A and B are shown apart, each in its own frame.
Chain A
Amino acid sequence: DAGVTQSPTHLIKTRGQQVTLRCSPKSGHDTVSWYQQALGQGPQFIFQYYEEEERQRGNFPDRFSGHQFPNYSSELNVNALLLGDSALYLCASSPGQILAKNIQYFGAGTRLSVL
């Protein structure tokens, strides 16, 4: 049973560029959430996708956008990269129909470095 998979594992970009990160949820899960984790900090919620729609969004600018596909996989896009966007980007899936069951199963993450 495959867990949450993310690609790529590492990425180096320069300021102003755009990046796309990908995520496949755990088998049987239909909800995908994205988090940003800066060094020494806890994961910060970016947004959550369910039924191909953004269901909830955290306090991140519009430069951060996403998409969910019919097979439940998801992409995170970040435009106009800033140095401060350097972080570990974590994707998490959950069987999200029930609010109380919003347990997050995390992937290994994508380490993004912006130079």
Chain B
Amino acid sequence: GQQVMQIPQYQHVQEGEDFTTYCNSSTTLSNIQWYKQRPGGHPVFLIQLVKSGEVKKQKRLTFQFGEAKKNSSLHITATQTTDVGTYFCAGPGAGSYQLTFGKGTKLSVIP
């Protein structure tokens, strides 16, 4: 079945440093979604990318969707303590309503 892999599993950064997490799917995706889960919380939708090569920005967050629509990345510029949490990517298989989530990247920010 479809697999979604994320690296790294953990990332510790000093406040103000940049952070990047990478997501790779075993199959081509119709779209990719990113979610953030704060400690003790539930996943919250951040963004959806649909087009090959698409780049979207939300303030300090930059999301990219690969040309082959099998990989994606999330880059945070100048991290803040409010960025702490686990970032998940998720994608549906072709013609599928099932979203497959990666295991996530847990971000810790040291003040």
A and B found bound together: yes
Please, how many residues of chain B have a CB less than 8 angstroms from a CB on the other chain? 26
Q: Does B50 contact A (CB under 8 A)?
A: yes
CA–CA, A100 and B101, complex, Å:
16
Q: Does B88 contact A (CB under 8 A)?
A: yes
CA–CA, A33 and B101, complex, Å:
13
Q: Tell me the chain B residues, 18-76 only, with Cβ under 8 Å from chain A.
A: 30-31, 33, 35, 41-45, 48, 50
Please, how many residues of chain A have a CB less than 8 angstroms from a CB on the other chain? 25
Q: Is the CB of B100 within 8 A of A45?
A: yes
Q: Tell me the chain B residues, 70-93 only, with Cβ under 8 Å from chain A.
A: 88, 90, 92
A-B pair number, CB within 8 angstroms: 60
Mark contacts of A30-46 with chain B using CB atoms, 8 A cut-off: 1 yes-contact digit, 0 otherwise: 00010100001111110
Mark contacts of B93-108 with chain A using CB atoms, 8 A cut-off: 1 yes-contact digit, 0 otherwise: 0011111111110000
Binding site for B on A (CB under 8 A): 33, 35, 40-45, 48, 55-56, 58-59, 90, 96, 99-100, 102-109
23 contacts between A and B (CB under 8 A): A40-B103, A41-B103, A42-B4, A42-B90, A42-B104, A43-B43, A45-B99, A48-B97, A55-B97, A56-B96, A56-B97, A90-B42, A90-B43, A99-B92, A100-B30, A104-B33, A104-B43, A104-B90, A106-B42, A106-B43, A107-B42, A108-B42, A109-B42
